Amino acid sequence: MHKLLLNRDIYTEVILDLVPRAKRFLWIVTADLKDMHVETEAGFEPFLAVLTELVERNVAVRLIHAKEPGPRFREHFDDYQALIENELFERVLCPRVHTKAIIIDGVIAFTGSANLTGAGMGSKHSDKRNFEAGFLFDDAEQVGQLMDWVDTLYLGEHCQTCRRREFCPDPIADNV
């Protein structure tokens, strides 16, 4: 499957449908990270509630982002102790990340223009949200290539040769 998703379809198909169904792991890569809200059975909640529910179901969540999250995200993050205390939730910051990708259980992935923000992937009204596009795919070879590449980011393999070190507030790997 190789499917084009536009605008709100990213929210409905990826965020509302696929992400909550993750069984083993969820990897999210985004440049911008804000206090995105989504529809849940309890009403509209921060996306952090969805991530918490996944971690509590023993789903490993990896979040890679380029800059410090917005202030409302940071404020809400402290309300989700399961994300703070559980080793299944991992978060790293790399200022060079501009990729937007979601990988679910190593079997399906989304890549596109949308950041993990309300205007990008969240529940914003169609007249307020960004114009976004991306692809949902389940080709095993392509998902595997994306996973390998995301793993190099997460493991800090680019840190040793990075020429943007001065802008990195929390290097993943130490330069030698």
d(CA 26, CA 13): 15
Contacts of 70 (CB under 8 A, 6+ apart): 33, 34, 35
Does residue 22 surpass a pLDDT of 80? yes
C-beta atoms surrounding 71 within 10 Å: 10
pLDDT one-digit tens code per residue, 120-156 = 999 888 898 999 999 999 999 999 999 999 999 999 8
Calculate mean pLDDT across residues 95-105: 96
Residue 174 pLDDT grade (very low, low, confident, very high; cuts 50, 70, 90): low
pLDDT one-digit tens code per residue, 37-72 = 999 888 999 999 999 999 999 999 999 999 889 889
Calculate mean pLDDT across residues 1-26: 97
Q: Is 26 helix (H, G, I), strand (E, B) or coil?
A: strand
Residue 58, phi-psi category: left (phi > 0), alpha (psi -120 to 50), beta (remainder): left
pLDDT given at position 172: 80
> Residue holding tokens 């840190």?
159
Q: Could you tell me which of 162, 154, 167, 129 has the C-alpha nearest to residue 65?
A: 154
- What global pTM score does this model have? 0.94
> Residue holding tokens 């993943």?
172
Domains and CATH numbers, the chain: 2-167 (3.30.870.10)
d(CA 65, CA 98): 8
pLDDT given at position 176: 36
pLDDT given at position 166: 79
Residue 23, phi-psi category: left (phi > 0), alpha (psi -120 to 50), beta (remainder): alpha
Residue 107 pLDDT grade (very low, low, confident, very high; cuts 50, 70, 90): very high
Task: Number of helices (H) and strands (E) in the chain: give both, helices first.
Answer: 5, 9
Calculate mean pLDDT across residues 102-110: 98
Residues of the chain with pLDDT > 70: what percent?
A: 98
pLDDT given at position 105: 98
> Residue holding tokens 């102790």?
81
